[in-house]
Chain A
Amino acid sequence: GAVVSQHPSWVICKSGTSVKIECRSLDFQATTMFWYRQFPKQSLMLMATSNEGSKATYEQGVEKDKFLINHASLTLSTLTVTSAHPEDSSFYICSAPISDPYEQYFGPGTRLTVT
């Protein structure tokens, strides 16, 4: 199947700093990617849609100024958590769809801990 990678796999940062997470489609191009977050023992919640060459679209309740998304190329989307606070600690997962045959593939996730 298709491969989606994320970097870093885990990160610890101090409160007030910013953290950038990368999501790459390794063997296919993705004009659209998606970012999810998952709290411990909970389900995945869609945060935003990352669109190559245009602005991201955010789900209701997600602060776009806190979670900056940039889709700079057909294989790379980045999520920057700005001015991180302990409540931003979570597991962040990206995904990208392929169309033929249709299926959506998920990255391995990035565990963010804000101290």
Chain B
Amino acid sequence: GIQVEQSPPDLILQEGANSTLRCNFSDSVNNLQWFHQNPWGQLINLFYIPSGTKQNGRLSATTVATERYSLLYISSSQTTDSGVYFCAVDLNNFNKFYFGSGTKLNVKP
């Protein structure tokens, strides 16, 4: 089956710092989303980004589908950015998402 790998597994930042999270996937995908899982377990949609670049405030994401990776950029990090970030991919438009292992982010004041 498809392999979805995220790096780094853990990340500690000082408030105000920037970071880049990476998601590598082993096969061509039709859909890719980035999520933030808050401390209560809710998955919050960040980006739907099967290709190209999108920006939303301090967050932006880029997917290079031909090279099978996606990046999530967080600028000027805040303590509320803490949590686990997941990328998830859908191989063939069946809407079945396979998740990466996640990056646990801790932003310290």
Contact = CB atoms under 8 A, between A and B. Distances in A.
Given A101-B48, A102-B48, A106-B43, A46 B31 contact: no
Given A32-B95, A102-B31, A104-B95, A93 B100 contact: no
Interface in A26-47: 32, 34, 36, 38, 42-46
Interface string A15-35: 000000000000000001010
Interface string A38-59: 1000111110010000000000
A64 interface: no
Given A103-B45, A105-B45, A43 B95 contact: no
A77 interface: no
A43 B101 contact: yes
Interface residues of B, number: 21
A91 B41 contact: yes
Interface in A56-110: 91, 93, 95, 97, 101-106, 108-109
Contact of B41 (A1, A42, A93, A103): A93
A111 interface: yes
Given A32-B95, A49-B96, A103 B101 contact: no
B86 A34 contact: no
A34 B102 contact: no
Interface string B24-41: 000000010101000011
Interface of A: 1, 32, 34, 36, 38, 42-46, 49, 91, 93, 95, 97, 101-106, 108-109, 111
Given A38-B41, A43-B99, A108-B41, 16 more contacts: A1-B45, A34-B96, A36-B99, A43-B100, A43-B102, A46-B96, A46-B97, A46-B98, A49-B94, A91-B41, A102-B31, A102-B48, A103-B33, A103-B45, A106-B43, A108-B42
